[in-house]
Amino acid sequence: MDEFNKLPNTEEDTEKAETIKKIKEPKRVKLSSVIIVSLLVVYLLSMAVLILVGTGYVKVGSDKKDGFDGERFEEIYELLKTYYVGELDEETMMLNALAVYAASVGDPYTQYLPKSTADSYIDGNYQSQSGIGVRVTFSEKPEGVFISYVFPESPAGKAGLKKGDVITAIEGTAVSEGNYSELIEKIPGVEGSTVALQVLRGTETKNFLVPRGNFTVESVEYLMLETAPDIGYIRIDGVATNTAKEFKNAITSLQEQGAKKFIFDVRDDGGGYLDVITEILDMLLPEGPIVRWTTADGTEKANHSDKEQIIKAPFAVLINGNTASAAELFAAALRDYELATLVGEKTYGKGVMQTLFPLKNGDTIKITTAYYYPPYGDNYNETGVMPDIEASLPENEVYFTVTEEEDTQLQAAITALNNASAQD
């Protein structure tokens, strides 16, 4: 996920990965692969300029500016138009080439976004949708669709589905690894229609006929822990437009339920809006800096906490290798003020900010425009944030499919909070 700066004097810019995609570590590539990719980049860049020349977007001549040779591109364009045996899909060629052109700066976060992609980039999955209202993943044992979360006030919640249920059949067809992707596409649908689900809950099989309807996908989940009744648990799935409001509501609700300590879970949180995570930190931090950043011209800027803390309590933050950007800042800032213990694994390491620049035709280019820093710490781009307490999950397990007792990282955070309280 990328951190986003807001452009001055423009409509509100946006950020969220198209589908909240998982962040993957970079892979080593062979020299031959690099050469092939380099040749492809050159070809696609050539096509981009050829099309821009042909459509009148680029004025060409004998002059060369900053290494750009328009005359040569125009020559190749005319040869392709004259002699290429097939049809040239100039629009597709241009979009592909422009994407490669932006990516060729060598920065993984600078991207060219066509209008269709840019529109869906705004808050990604965090919006009103039609379906039954669950987050799911594949379950191997038993085979089926594991429900990792049921959204509040969703059709699934009203029908009685619960986290931990495994959907073993959809519309009468048993779920297997081979047909998983195909079958889960049958769960969403038109509002008012129904979907028949066979569910395994523990050892008991239940049947549900769930009506589809509208529900809101929220970025914040929260509950009181069963294994630690005085600890409120808040998971931030991503940093979207409404996340600060949802976070404040979660804090208020958990306090009303008796929470004295809090665990913030940002495992697999790829980040989001920088100004939104700043707003959340402003609720938690005392007076002082929240985030600092430096721009391309060397200008240094900072945001400071200027609001009263809405809560003063012991905190722990769960992190892992997919905790990135704004989520890393969240964890690092709380630790800088000695307000939280970080538990889990080293984070991804993304300490750069992007700005969205809308183009005249409705497309957008996303450019990395600054390095940013936690309140008192160093920039962690490509290095990550280390936990105070290292803890791993059981082998081949993920945190959203295990119980509270089985979540070793969560239990380590509970222990850290209880130990801190005992010392106080």
pLDDT digits (tens, 9 = 90+) for 305-319: 988 899 999 999 999
The pLDDT score that the predictor gives to residue 53 is 41
The pLDDT score that the predictor gives to residue 91 is 85
The pLDDT score that the predictor gives to residue 96 is 86
The closest alpha carbon to 267, from 186, 321, 314, belongs to 321
Domain boundary, last residue among 121, 139, 157: 121
Same domain, 188 and 101: no
Checking if the pLDDT of 27 tops 90, the result is no
Same domain, 207 and 237: no
Q: Which of 108-112, 152-156, 327-331 has the lowest mean pLDDT?
A: 152-156
The closest alpha carbon to 409, from 314, 318, 339, 315, belongs to 318
Q: Which of 12-16, 81-85, 171-175 has the lowest mean pLDDT?
A: 12-16
Same domain, 212 and 226: no
User: Cα-Cα-Cα-Cα dihedral of 121, 125, 126, 128, to 10°?
Assistant: 110
Same domain, 173 and 253: no
Omega of the bond prior to 108 within 30 degrees of 0, cis? no
The verdict on residue 262 lying in a domain is yes
Same domain, 235 and 158: no
The tally of domains found in the chain comes to 3
pLDDT digits (tens, 9 = 90+) for 212-235: 998 888 899 999 999 999 999 999
pLDDT digits (tens, 9 = 90+) for 240-290: 989 999 999 999 999 999 999 999 999 999 999 999 999 999 999 999 999
Helix, strand, coil content of the chain in percent (nearest 5): 30, 25, 45
Checking if the pLDDT of 15 tops 70, the result is no
Same domain, 197 and 336: no
Share of the chain above pLDDT 90, in %: 62
Residue 170 · residue 186 · CB < 8 Å? yes
Entry pTM:
0.78
User: Domain span at residue 205?
Assistant: 128-216
At residue 195, what is the residue type? V
